Every structure is written in C-alpha cells, then in structure tokens.
C-alpha cells in the first residue's frame, strides 16, 4: 500500500459517510461524497500523492469542530508524509444548512493560517492552501 492509501484507510476508519446532494442544473443532482468526523464533514480527493480538500463544512459553527477535523487531517499528512492542499473559498453549503454564522473569505483564510497552512491568493474569492 502507498502512503496515500494508508492515510485514506485511516481517514475512512475514523470517519463515517455523509453524502450530500448538490444540484448542478435543471433536475441534475450530483452526489458529494463527504465523510463526517465529529461535528464536521469533508469531501476529500485522493489523487497522485496528495490529499485534496475538495469541500469542508462544519455542522456546528463556532464550536471547534472544524479545527478538530483540520488537525486530524494534518496529523494524517504528517504521519504518512503526504501533502494536504485545497482552496479556501467561502461558499453557501447545500442543505441541510449548519446552524450558526459561517465564516467570511477573510475569516476562512485566517482559520487556515492559524492552523499552519500556507496560502497563495488566487482572487478575492479564493486562496490556494497547502500543508505542510
């Protein structure tokens, strides 16, 4: 097994499926294969030699669930010596909506910086995130 496959196996053994439906057009719905870790969910992609955070949502904003999930993902990246990356982009999640205030783009970028990610600004609405 590759290091990435081992990281994915550990992620899957510590999280549970939490698929969400995402409407993409007239009657067309796409399944986003999130997995739940505590009170947060992440849709990860396992390509090449990196873990990509495709989407990430907290189910209870302001209660630390997002930080716990990110710290777990960082521990996987450290343990298996793989890169963790994605794009910090604030978006309105699909139903069911979390209860509480969602982060603005700046707050989201500050969150990732606080957790040790390097950021590269792409536009006013997005930054690339990279760990380590």
Tens digits of pLDDT across the chain (132 residues): 999 999 999 999 999 999 887 777 787 877 889 999 999 999 999 988 899 999 888 888 778 899 999 999 999 999 999 999 999 877 666 565 555 666 788 988 899 899 999 999 888 888 899 998
pLDDT given for residue 2 in this prediction: 94
**Is 126 inside any structural domain?**
yes
**Is 35 inside any structural domain?**
no
Number of structural domains in the chain: 1
**Is 27 inside any structural domain?**
no
Query: Distances from the Cα of 102 to the Cαs of 12, 66, 68, 92, in angstroms?
Result: 26, 11, 17, 8
**Is 113 inside any structural domain?**
yes
Q: List the CATH number of the domain containing 7.
A: 3.30.1370
Q: What 3-state DSSP class applies to 6?
A: helix
**Is 38 inside any structural domain?**
no
pLDDT given for residue 26 in this prediction: 80
d(CA 124, CA 77): 28
Query: Distances from the Cα of 56 to the Cαs of 29, 69, 128, in angstroms?
Result: 19, 9, 14
**Is 34 inside any structural domain?**
no
**Is 91 inside any structural domain?**
yes
Residue in the block written with tokens 């793989």: 82
**Is 16 inside any structural domain?**
yes
By residue range, what is the domain housing residue 99?
A: 3-20+48-131
């Amino acid at each position: 097994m590759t290091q990435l496959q081992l990281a994915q196996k550990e992620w899957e053994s510590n999280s549970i499926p939490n698929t969400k439906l995402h409407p993409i057009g007239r009657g067309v719905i796409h399944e986003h294969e999130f997995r739940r870790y505590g009170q947060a969910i992440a849709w990860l992609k396992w390509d090449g030699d990196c873990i990509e955070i495709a989407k990430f949502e907290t189910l209870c904003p302001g209660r630390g669930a997002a930080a716990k999930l990110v710290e777990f993902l960082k521990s996987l990246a450290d343990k298996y010596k793989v890169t963790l990356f994605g794009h910090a982009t604030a978006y309105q999640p699909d139903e069911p909506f979390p209860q509480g205030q969602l982060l603005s783009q700046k707050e989201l970028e500050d969150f990732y910086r606080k957790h040790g990610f390097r950021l590269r600004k792409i536009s006013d609405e997005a930054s690339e995130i990279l760990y380590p």
